[in-house]
Amino acid sequence: MVEYVSHSAEETREIGGKVVQRFGVNRLYCLYGPLAAGKTTLVKGMAEEIGVERRVVSPSYILLREYEGKYPLHHIDLFRLGSSGELIEAGLDEYIVDPRGVVAIEWAERAEGILPEDRVDVRIEITGDEERKVATTSNLD
């Protein structure tokens, strides 16, 4: 497990880049944390690390946003889904099974049961007004 502490949105973004540097591309990144923890901010840093130049925004209402950079970024938000079955019905399971580039899933707990073991879990905990603890775990370590 690797832990980081962030004191600002900028630091959270930087941590996103560090996570991708550590674990690489063609990986599934599962993001966990409460509302306003900074999951999308962390994904912005991942995007910057792989050369995405477009502005990254939350895919909450459309489930998936795709970005091109040096590597593709597939940003999935499962907040509005009730079960992993809905994820399969939406066709998003193909990104989970065979990640190309960086696949970042916010609210990954909604896909429990179908997530592969080969993934990076990123847990964000709110520890203060601006402070966040970011912990990464993976069987890839």
What are the chain's domains?
A: 2-138 (3.40.50.300)
Say whether pLDDT at 64 is over 70: yes
| Arithmetic mean of pLDDT over the chain | 92
pLDDT in tens, 103-123: 999 999 988 888 999 999 999
pLDDT of residue 81: 81
User: Is 80 exceeded by the pLDDT of residue 83?
Assistant: no
**Cβ neighbour number for residue 83 with a 10 Å cutoff:** 14
Phi, psi of 94 (to 5 degrees): -65, -30
Tell which wins on pLDDT, 139 or 8.
Answer: 8
Residue 107 CA to residue 127 CA, distance in Å, equals: 19
Average pLDDT rounded to a whole number, residues 31-48: 96
- pLDDT of 141 above 70: no
Query: How many angstroms separate the CA atoms of 125 and 118, rounded?
Result: 23
CA of 129: how far to CAs of 37, 116, 126, 133, in Å? 10, 34, 8, 12
Q: Mean pLDDT check: name the lowest of 22-26, 96-100, 101-105.
A: 96-100
CA 7 to chain centre: 19
pLDDT category of residue 68 using cuts at 50, 70 and 90: very high
Residue 21, classed as helix, strand or coil, is helix
Residues 70-90, mean pLDDT to the nearest whole number? 86
Q: Tell me, what's the pLDDT at 94?
A: 84
pLDDT at 32 > cutoff 90: yes
Give the helix, strand, coil percentages of the chain, each rounded to 5: 30, 30, 45
% of the chain with per-residue pLDDT over 90: 71
